[in-house]
């Protein structure tokens, strides 16, 4: 078993929390893990990415080789496309559709979405909207984790433990909001897959 994930987004969107939850679950499942993060200057509203590699054998490189990632999980639509060179030809592109516009030349969002949809294996959802409807506007990142969860070969309960682990200091309400957000994302993907009879 081996999963290579590229997490993408804009500084401040919480992709490190996604990584931490999966990391927690991987360690609890006695899997090997390497997870490379971006700290420093780029966190000031710039593009950021994290390489997350989980395996039942030792993982060597902290960076995923190009053309071999099993999925890109992105909290921002344009950012999902930035890492296509890393995605394997049969990998999944899983992204939030809500743009984060902090540059004056942000492209037409419809063209961005069209580009994403041209990719055979894609999951697109408005994670911000789903999170807001759950009364948890800040957990769009965790909705995205949920949406990707059917493709991550780690038991879902372990991911739930990961959420409990990383939000343990924030109290039960925040934990529940995030568990609900993850479940909503998971349900979205399951419905999508059954409707399109993929997988």
Site of interaction with other proteins (CB under 8 A): 10-11, 23-24, 27, 32-47, 51, 57, 59-69, 78-79, 81-82, 84-89, 91, 102-103, 105-108, 111-112, 115, 119, 169, 171
Q: Which is nearer to other proteins, 85 or 197 (CB)?
A: 85
Q: Which is nearer to other proteins, 138 or 190 (CB)?
A: 138
Q: Which is nearer to other proteins, 14 or 23 (CB)?
A: 23
* Angle between helix 140-148 and helix 172-195 axes, rounded to 10 deg: 40
Contact 124/106 with Cβ under 8 angstroms?
A: no
**Closest CA relative to residue 88, chosen from 198, 4, 149, 199:** 4
**Residue 96 token pair:** 């939030």
Q: Which is nearer to other proteins, 92 or 188 (CB)?
A: 92
State the minimum distance, in angstroms, from the CB of residue 146 to other proteins: 22
State the minimum distance, in angstroms, from the CB of residue 195 to other proteins: 26
> Distance (Å, rounded) from C-alpha 121 to C-alpha 54?
21
Contact 136/180 with Cβ under 8 angstroms?
A: yes
State the minimum distance, in angstroms, from the CB of residue 187 to other proteins: 29
Q: Which is nearer to other proteins, 38 or 183 (CB)?
A: 38
State the minimum distance, in angstroms, from the CB of residue 58 to other proteins: 9
State the minimum distance, in angstroms, from the CB of residue 190 to other proteins: 26
Q: Is 126 exposed, middle or buried (0-12, 13-18, 19+ CB in 10 A)?
A: middle
Query: Alpha helices of 46-171 — where are they, by DSSP H?
Result: 77-82, 109-117, 127-133, 140-148, 156-166
């Amino acid at each position: 078993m081996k999963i290579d994930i590229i997490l993408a987004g804009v500084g401040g969107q919480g992709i490190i929390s996604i990584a931490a939850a999966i990391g927690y679950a991987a360690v609890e499942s006695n899997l090997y893990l390497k997870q490379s993060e971006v700290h420093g200057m780029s966190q000031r509203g710039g593009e950021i990415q994290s390489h997350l590699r989980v395996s039942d054998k030792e993982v060597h490189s902290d960076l995923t080789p190009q053309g071999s990632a099993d999925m890109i999980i992105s909290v921002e639509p344009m950012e999902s496309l930035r890492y296509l060179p890393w995605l394997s030809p049969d990998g999944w592109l899983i992204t939030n559709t809500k743009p984060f516009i902090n540059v004056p030349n942000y492209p037409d969002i419809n063209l961005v979405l069209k580009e994403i949809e041209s990719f055979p294996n894609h999951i697109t959802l408005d994670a911000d909207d789903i999170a807001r409807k759950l009364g948890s506007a800040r957990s769009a990142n965790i909705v995205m984790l949920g949406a990707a969860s059917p493709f991550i070969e780690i038991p879902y309960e372990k991911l739930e433990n990961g959420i409990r682990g990383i939000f343990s200091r924030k109290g039960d309400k925040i934990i529940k909001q995030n568990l609900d957000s993850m479940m909503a994302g998971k349900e979205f993907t399951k419905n999508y897959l059954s409707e399109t009879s993929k997988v």
